[in-house]
Amino acid sequence: MNPAFSVIFLTTLLGTGQGLFLALFVIEARVAAGLLEAPSAAFYPLGAAIVVLLLAAGLLASFFHLGHPERAWRAAAMWRTSWLSREVIVLPAFMAAAAAWGWAHWQGWPGTLLIGVAGAALCLLLFLCTAMIYACIKFLQEWATPLTLVNFVLLGCASGVTLAAALAALRGEPNVQELAAWAFAFTLSGLAARSASLWRNARLKPRSNLQTAIGIKHPRIVQKAQGFMGGSFNTREFFHGRAPGTLRSVKWLFIAGAFLLPLALLAGATAAGSPALLAAAFAVQYAGLVAERWFFFAQANHPQNLYYQAVS
């Protein structure tokens, strides 16, 4: 696929927001259970505001993906069949829940935990919807795997929790060590899961090939003309147009940026207790995740590309 930055930002911002919310909610829950020291009163509302901002930014980014953003409201129509439609419903619901949760905290209302439970459920549902948008396209074999969902969840949580840790550290809140440890754990498991998907995808055998694409059983088939020479939607949308080397570089870039460097920074930050290191860890990780998402799209080899290989 040809990675679109609108969708890259949509999914990464959403993931971070979702991870942040889950981090905040889990802190609240554990505080309620007496397992953690309570943060300052402003921490939850501020965190929730950032969650909503991230989600809103993601939503905004998604509008750039649309040919007709003014009709975006129509996208809720087909929730029975379309994961995209479901996402369109769940995303605002989750945003509302996160906002309500933050607002309730701000107002000091009781029942925030209950709202938090609903928010967390919606958050997980949103992960499911977002991931399934990609995982449900069965012929995009790189995506059609449970690992897509696992990665969306783990990477979203990693970046969100790292952000939570950085936020807590910057504000001098308690539980920074705890959060950093969680972030470390999510990043490490994210690395494991993403490595698993890389390993899997490197071994994928495309189910479609030129033989099935045009229905001719001959071992040697070469396209000579795709039917037009100046490109088309089909040549622009489904192929990144970059050399294989670029893809490899981006892969190592995101492995370093999304996982290795943040792990080091998180470890360093935990040891040194440095808010700056934590902030750096988040910044590096988010940038790394942008690269990861770019790679996620670029690596997906759409079978339609079999039809668009040559001009003459």
Residues near another protein (CB under 8 A) are 1, 65-69, 71-72, 74-78, 81-85, 88, 133, 136-140, 207-208, 210, 212-216, 218, 220-234, 237-238, 302-305, 307-308, 312
Q: State how far the alpha carbon of 10 is from the alpha carbons of 43, 51, 60, 67, in Å.
A: 25, 13, 8, 16
> Measured between alpha carbons, how far is 27 from 45 in angstroms, rounded to an integer?
13
Q: State how far the alpha carbon of 186 is from the alpha carbons of 7, 74, 291, in Å.
A: 23, 36, 18
Q: State how far the alpha carbon of 31 is from the alpha carbons of 47, 49, 70, 296, in Å.
A: 16, 20, 43, 37
Q: State how far the alpha carbon of 118 is from the alpha carbons of 164, 177, 256, in Å.
A: 20, 27, 35
H-assigned helices in 33-66: 43-63
CB closer to another protein, 63 vs 252: 63
CB-based contacts of 93: which residues, under 8 Å, 6+ apart?
122
The 8-class DSSP code of residue 34 comes to: T
Contact 180, 270 (CB under 8 A): yes
Kindly state the smallest distance separating residue 127's Cβ from another protein, in Å: 18
Kindly state the smallest distance separating residue 7's Cβ from another protein, in Å: 10
Kindly state the smallest distance separating residue 12's Cβ from another protein, in Å: 18
CB closer to another protein, 212 vs 246: 212
Which of 113, 87, 109 has the alpha carbon at shortest distance from 27? 113
Kindly state the smallest distance separating residue 217's Cβ from another protein, in Å: 9
CB closer to another protein, 203 vs 217: 217
CB closer to another protein, 192 vs 225: 225
CB closer to another protein, 124 vs 311: 311
Kindly state the smallest distance separating residue 156's Cβ from another protein, in Å: 21
Which of 191, 186, 133 has the alpha carbon at shortest distance from 161? 186
CB closer to another protein, 189 vs 211: 211
Written as six digits, the tokens of 157 are 């949580």
Kindly state the smallest distance separating residue 87's Cβ from another protein, in Å: 8
Kindly state the smallest distance separating residue 306's Cβ from another protein, in Å: 8
Written as six digits, the tokens of 44 are 């939850």
CB closer to another protein, 223 vs 249: 223
CB closer to another protein, 54 vs 140: 140
CB-based contacts of 52: which residues, under 8 Å, 6+ apart?
17, 95, 98, 99, 102
> Measured between alpha carbons, how far is 151 from 293 in angstroms, rounded to an integer?
11
Kindly state the smallest distance separating residue 263's Cβ from another protein, in Å: 33
